[in-house]
Amino acid sequence: MTRPSDRPGRLGVGIVSAGRVGAVLGAALRAAGHAVVGVNAVSEASRDRAEALLPDVPVLDVPAVLDRAELVLLAVPDDELPGLVQGLADAQLWQAGQLVVHTAGRWGTGVLDPARRLGAIPLAVHPAMTFTGLSLDLARLSDCSFGITAPAPVLPIAQALVVEMGAEPVVVAEADRPLYHAALAHGANHLMTVAGQSMQVLRDIGVEHPDRMLGPLLRATLDNALASGESALTGPVARGDAGTVAAHRGALDEYAHGHQGDDVLLAYLDLARVTARRALDRGLLDRPRYDAVLAALDLTDGKDTP
């Protein structure tokens, strides 16, 4: 059988930097037969990550990484990307024909224009996954989609790189990148916030292992939502159980005062209103029950909401 490194089109890959995403994607590209020729790792954590996931790869400064690489993987935070690309362009470090790949969800290829003007080939390749920076992330790539954006002539290169890492490429238009990223952040990051709030409340009422209580429920809910959409919606808001919603509202109001913080209450109220509206729009809730739910959310024991 042909070894990965013997396949045609193998590239010398340089990684900036060895954060959770960069180190894992570098390891995935290496497993596909590409040679990782250098990695930039500044912090102690990133150097440890590079040693674990990219053993024997030299740790270099950024100019040295660019000098060696045919493909440069920029795995830096979204807000740092424009300044980094421009700074390297000002230093004339980009090379003609060099593939420049960034992993930022927010940006398309426009952010790479300073490199493109020096002859580099821009690709935006964003994994729709949360990373731990550990080797277990490599197995997760097989279930992962990447949002990719690139000029039409080189779009197949971006698609091929993602497929080689074992994932699925999904083309996202340049203009849609911020909305694409907002959708992912809304689903993933806010899910984390809601789960954290729920565990906090359970812990505060004496539940010793709130993760065990919530885990099966949240996993089943997410599976149902992904399989059936909002037709699988259950709970007192979707049923129009205004009395139960009012009881929730009152209990969370007391909790907010007793624990010197109302973030759980505010999140519950906002999400319950949105849930009720979406249930109404989809025919899961009729207008009278919808109005009753909103009234229950707006009033508790005759007092206005805070």
Residue 34's pLDDT is 97
Tell me the pLDDT tens digit for each residue of 85-98: 999 999 999 999 99
**Which CATH architecture best describes the domain 4-172?**
3-Layer(aba) Sandwich (3.40)
Tell me the pLDDT tens digit for each residue of 27-80: 999 999 999 999 999 999 999 999 999 999 999 999 999 999 999 999 999 999
Tell me the pLDDT tens digit for each residue of 204-249: 999 999 999 999 999 999 999 999 999 889 999 999 999 999 999 9
Mean pLDDT across the chain, nearest whole number?
93
Q: Does residue 300 carry a pLDDT above 60?
A: no
121-124 contacts: CB < 8 A, separation 24 or more? 121/97, 121/154, 121/157, 122/150, 122/151, 123/99, 123/148, 123/149, 123/150, 123/154, 123/157, 123/158, 123/161, 124/148, 124/149, 124/150, 124/158, 124/177
d(CA 80, CA 116): 18
DSSP β-ladder status, 71-74 and 99-102: parallel
Domain ranges of the chain: 4-172, 180-304
